[in-house]
Structure 1
């Protein structure tokens, strides 16, 4: 009987870290591919299109940027909703575990679970699940923050803000959104740990197999052509400086010619 108890503990010791390492290894490889060959990942494909979208929406007049503000506002609403859901789930899980501990009955210590049901292992499960939801909550809050800032910048009445600043805010918000979603994936794996280490490990393997196909991009990046009549702020400033300098030179030459004729 004692040997069987140790066997169940060994399942949690080996299968759970192995499942987490499998998820971490996949996401590290995904990050490497995104940094080295972004066109091969769906993240790089989406960010490429978002950059082009921001550049084109920023080229129109401020009064015509209503669709851009609507799109950004919808992203803010989605991030706010998911952050609220993560916070509520964290509170519910905490209250559920607290009530289960006080009543001395918990699904974590059910005899049907094939794995460790010790109090220390239950505490580790609790901390792991809550941590993933809190990380997702923080990421979604940051997502809303960056999109709100992008909303302010893109609604600027004049083009005094460079388009690169708006692109930077949108890409940062998208990256935090992606990190929050991936934290929810980890939380899903850890929730299945409630039913034992075997369901958790199987979920990790299945999720990685699905994400390999989802995160791979086979569509070539579209070479967006520059929009006719569009100008960047730096070009406008340079042309303005050149025009002012040419005007001063012209006035200087005219005044110099006039002084010569009078002489």
Structure 2
């Protein structure tokens, strides 16, 4: 086969491998969120917002610093993705998604009274939206590696696409042990809050 024919075959196949993996991941996040790290992290962020907003005078600085660190990390990843691939970088640095972290940094320090559960829910949803946007930027960063290797030909690009999908599977999925530990930590926290009330 000529190099052009290999290019026409392996590059779309590499993109297809990454695409199929992410379609599967999206389906799993929607249907079985606790089987993915993204789903478990969303539950953890929700619990974190509840604990931070329970006493914002005590925990407010911690909440704002944590969110600031996430903003800095997402900015760094977006900058790196732009350097590696300008098309992917534009997607990763989409400004309307970064606003959620900035918004939550103000909401997290607001004192939440017992009757304002919907306000806490809103803050937790905003934090998760910001985290999902950060995850998309991180995916764009990962996707930029096969694109950069495409410079060296379709075979390195295809191999990197397969390797990236394989590695992401292990980073994205959870085991039963992880799910059990996660559930037990929430149960302990909830019983501790009930006993303290």
TM normalised by structure 1 equals 0.65
Task: Work out which of the two has the higher radius of gyration on C-alpha atoms and give 1 or 2.
Answer: 1
CA distance in 2, matches of 1:153, 1:230: 25
CA distance in 2, matches of 1:179, 1:230: 39
C-alpha deviation, 1:142, in angstroms: 4.1
**Cα 1:207–1:29 shift into 2, 3 Å:** same
1:156 aligns with 2:110: yes
Aligned match for 1:49, one of 11, 20, 44: 44
CA distance in 2, matches of 1:155, 1:12: 53
CA distance in 1, matches of 2:150, 2:156: 7
Partner SS for 1:156: coil
Q: Normalized per residue, which structure has more helix?
A: 2
Partner SS for 1:162: helix
Aligned match for 2:92, one of 115, 126, 136: 136
- The CA deviation string for residues 121-175 of structure 1, in whole angstroms up to 9 with x for no partner, is xxxxxxxx4211211122xx34531111001111225646710111011100110
Unaligned runs of 5+ in 1: 91-128, 232-263
CA distance in 2, matches of 1:229, 1:66: 27
Query: Which residue does 1:39 correspond to in 2?
Result: 34
CA distance in 1, matches of 2:124, 2:102: 13
- The CA deviation string for residues 182-207 of structure 1, in whole angstroms up to 9 with x for no partner, is 11111110100000001100111111
**Cα 1:23–1:86 shift into 2, 3 Å:** closer
C-alpha root-mean-square deviation of aligned residues, in Å?
2.2
CA distance in 1, matches of 2:38, 2:79: 25
Unaligned runs of 5+ in 2: none
